[in-house]
Amino acid sequence: MTITMIAYIFFAVILILPMIIKVMREYERAVVFTFGRFTSVKGPGLIIIIPLVQQIVRVDLRTIVMDVPSQDVISRDNVSVKVNAVVYFRVMDPERAIIQVENYHDATSQLAQTTLRSVLGQHELDEMLAEREKLNRDIQQILDEQTDAWGIKVSNVEIKHVDIDESMIRAIARQAEAERERRAKVIHAEGELQASTKLLEAANILSTNPQSIQLRYLQTLTEIAGEKNSTIAFPVPIDLLTIFFEKISKK
């Protein structure tokens, strides 16, 4: 065997070797097809493939973070909003992810968009803004059930933004202001009711003991004198006026 033949063989091995030996990273798996038929899932590490007979499809098992584009949603109370979200999912079964669906990433993205519109369309605007955690769980459960046949696990869904029209923002602000005014009036009315109740109790106590009325009268005079007023009006007790009117009527 000449040196030239050895050189040809050496270069041929160098060219063929990458087609035979494949290296799968820890987070990768190789779905192997032999003459077009599924054979096995191999990896991680070093795997051997028969050229021209076997083909592989690499599958990444890491969690994929996918942005759901902004969707036009009409809420149950007929408010138009734009909502976008983010979906976290990963491939649990490489065989089904490659065989059961053409492109599992695009399929999951399209399913997430339709599910987002469907779920949010069943709720009112106030629920979208106040119950975001519940909506996230509902969307995640629906997506997880639908993608299970593809070997996909949807671990989390987060609604990022709920964009509202400027006119609707002003309407919500007016509604919030009206709600605060209503609460203030209710609190004021409750305070007036409690105060009137206490005043009625005090009046009943004072009416049972005339001496307590005099003490209260003296306390009021003391408070007035302490304010350095130039003029002090002394209220005349009703009892004295009654006696005065009785004397006049007898004449």
Tokens 């983010």 belong to: 86
For the cut 90, the answer to whether the pLDDT of residue 208 exceeds it is no
Look-up of token digits 């003490």: 215
Least confidently predicted of 64-78, 121-135, 223-237: 223-237
Mean pLDDT for 88-105 is: 95
Hey, what amino acid is at 233? A
Considering just the CA atoms, what is the radius of gyration of the chain in Å?
Answer: 42
Select, from the ranges 102-106, 159-163, 183-187, the one with the highest average predicted confidence (pLDDT).
102-106
Q: What's phi and psi for 49, nearest 5 deg?
A: -120, 140
Q: At what angle do helices 166-208 and 210-225 cross, to 10 degrees?
A: 120
Rounded to an integer, the average pLDDT of 192-206 is 77
Residue 7, pLDDT score: 76
Asked whether residue 134 carries a pLDDT value surpassing 60, the answer given is: yes
- Say which residue, 52 or 228, is predicted with more confidence: 52
So what's the pLDDT on residue 10?
Answer: 72
Domain boundary assignment for the chain: 3-60, 64-164, 172-250
113 to each of 15, 46, 64, 118, 186, how far by Cα in Å? 45, 39, 16, 9, 44
pLDDT averaged over every residue in the chain: 83
Mean pLDDT of 74-93: 92
Could you tell me the pTM of the whole model? 0.67
| Lowest-pLDDT range of 16-20, 82-86, 178-182, 204-208 | 204-208
What's 64-164's CATH class?
alpha beta
Which of 36-40, 157-161, 234-238 is predicted with the least confidence, judged by mean pLDDT? Answer: 234-238
Q: What percent of the chain has pLDDT over 90?
A: 47
Q: What percent of the chain has pLDDT over 70?
A: 78
Across 41-55, 84-98, 199-213, least confident range? 199-213
